[in-house]
Amino acid sequence: MELIFKILNASIIPFWILLAFFVHTDLTKKLIFSYVIHMILAVFYLVFIIWGMAENVGGEGGMDSLAHLRIGFLNDKVLLAAWAHYLIFDLFVGTWIAKKCLEENISNWIKIPSLLLTLVFGPIGFLVFNVLRKVLPKK
């Protein structure tokens, strides 16, 4: 599972680089703006969440309390699926940010830090981007 975790983490970095520095390329449009990579990652999530939940049939894990959620995440497959969930949605938000920057002619000085914050802290990057695009002048 550790190897799959490392591969999953490493696999998303090129897409963030495309969003940050190569947003105008055909490769970015084909892989990211078409949401192909998001769907591929969603299939990964689907496989691991089903696999992990199948192993926990009749178990104490669940989403009805923090204690049950913690127990559910003791299964490495469920935990890996949950991590993939974060990665997929953060990349989705990063894609949205990059698209907004193109549509609204927003500077890389706003886009790149917002993307970095979204990659590392998810909702904080989304928040910072939306605040900055309202208060700072465009290009």
Task: Give the pLDDT confidence score for residue 73 in this predicted structure.
Answer: 83
User: How far apart are the C-alpha atoms of 95 and 115, rounded to whole Å?
Assistant: 9
Task: Give the pLDDT confidence score for residue 87 in this predicted structure.
Answer: 95
**Residue 8 banded pLDDT, cuts 50, 70, 90:** very high
Confidence (pTM): 0.90
Instruction: Dump pLDDT digits (tens) for 14-54.
Output: 999 999 999 999 999 999 999 999 999 999 999 999 998 88
Q: Transcribe 50-86 into DSSP letters.
A: HHHHHHTTTSS--SSSHHHHHHHTTSHHHHHHHHHHH
Instruction: Dump pLDDT digits (tens) for 82-91.
Output: 999 999 999 9
User: How far apart are the C-alpha atoms of 103 and 106, rounded to whole Å?
Assistant: 8
Query: Please, what is the end-to-end C-alpha distance for the chain in angstroms?
Result: 45
User: How far apart are the C-alpha atoms of 43 and 78, rounded to whole Å?
Assistant: 14
